[in-house]
Amino acid sequence: MNLPTDHDHIDTTTTHARQHRRRRAASVLPTLLTLGNAICGFAAIHYAAKPITNTAVGWSTLTVAGALVFLGMFFDAIDGSVARMTRSTSNMGAQLDSLADVITFGVAPAFMTLRLISHYYGASAGADGLQILGPADSTYARILWAIAAFYMCCTALRLARFNAEVRSAKAEDHLYFRGMPSPGAGGTVASLILLHQHLLHTHIGIEEDSLAFARTAALGIPLVTVIVAFAMVSNIRYSHFTNKILRARRGFRSLLRVVIPVLLFFWWPQVALAAGFVIYALSGPVLSLIHRDSATTQP
C-alpha cells in the first residue's frame, strides 16, 4: 500500500498555488478591459480638443475621436462576458464599468459636439484656434453648452439608475433596457459626427459649397444630442440586441441579421454606423407606439 509522501503534498500545494495565480490573473482581465474603455474615452476627448485637421493617418481629429468611442464600446461589450467566463463578476466591477461609460459615452460625445459646432460657429471659425464655445460667449453658445452639459448629466443619471435597479433572474427581463442605453446614445452622436466628417472630405464641389454643407449639417448634431439625452432618462423600452442575438434560435434568418449589417459596415462603414444607431434610437419610441396601439385595440 503506497502512502502519500511529503513530496506528493508539496506537488499538490504547488499545483493549487499555480491554479490560484491563474485565477487571479484571469480576474484582472475584465478590469483591464473596463479601464481600456475609460482610456478610449479620455483619448477621444484629447483628440476632440484639438483643431479639426487631418492627422498622420489621413483622418480628421474628430474622426479619430469617434473611432475611439467605438473602440471603447467594443471593450464595454466584452468586459462583462469575460468577467462571467472567469467567474470574477463583482459589484466593484459594475460600478467601475459605469464610471468608464460616463467618460466614453457621456463626456466624450458631448465634448465632440462642442468641438464640431465651435469649429464652424465659434470665434475661431475658419481658423485653427482651440477656442471651444462656452456659456460666457453668446446666447447661441450658452444653448449649445447647456445641451452638451444636459447630455452628460443624462448619461450619468441613466447609468446610476441602471446600477440602482434590482434586476430579476428572468430571461425576458434581460432582453430590454428601460431607457436608451448610454452606449446607444453615445454611438448615435459619435456615428453622426463620423458621417459628417466623412461626407465633408468626400463632398464633390467648390470650396464654398463644402463649407455651406458642413455648417448646415453640423447644426443637426446638437438636436440629436438633446433627443437621445431625453431617451436615456425616459421609461421607453429598448431592445438588448446582444442578448437577443445570443438567445435567438439558430437559423437562416438569424444568420442574415448578423451577416448583412457586417457586410454593409465593410462596404460603407460611416453610413452603416450612422444608419444603424439612428434606427436603434428610433426603434424604442416606434415599438412603444405599436404596442400601445395594439393594446388599445384589443377587446
Q: Where are the domains of the chain?
A: 17-297
pTM over the 0.85 mark: no
pLDDT of residue 228: 97
Q: Per-residue confidence at 203, pLDDT binned at 50, 70, 90?
A: low
Do 120 and 86 touch, CB atoms closer than 8 A?
no
The residue that leads in pLDDT, 207 or 272, is 272
Q: Provide the 3-class DSSP secondary structure of residue 25.
A: helix
pLDDT of residue 264: 77
The mean pLDDT of the chain is 80
pLDDT of residue 242: 63
Q: Per-residue confidence at 293, pLDDT binned at 50, 70, 90?
A: low
List of E strands, 205-289: 237-239
Q: How far is the C-alpha of 62 from the C-alpha of 113, rounded, in Å? A: 10
Helix (H) or strand (E) holding 293: helix 269-297
Least confident of 183-187, 234-238, 256-260: 256-260
Output the nine-digit C-alpha cell for 230.
431625453
Q: How far is the C-alpha of 118 from the C-alpha of 218, rounded, in Å? A: 10
The average pLDDT across 149-169 equals 86
- 174 burial (CB, 10 Å; 0-12 / 13-18 / 19+) is middle
Q: Per-residue confidence at 190, pLDDT binned at 50, 70, 90?
A: very high
The residue that leads in pLDDT, 240 or 193, is 193
pLDDT in tens, 128-148: 455 777 777 778 889 999 999
Q: How far is the C-alpha of 126 from the C-alpha of 210, rounded, in Å? A: 13
Output the nine-digit C-alpha cell for 200.
465633408
Do 39 and 173 touch, CB atoms closer than 8 A?
no
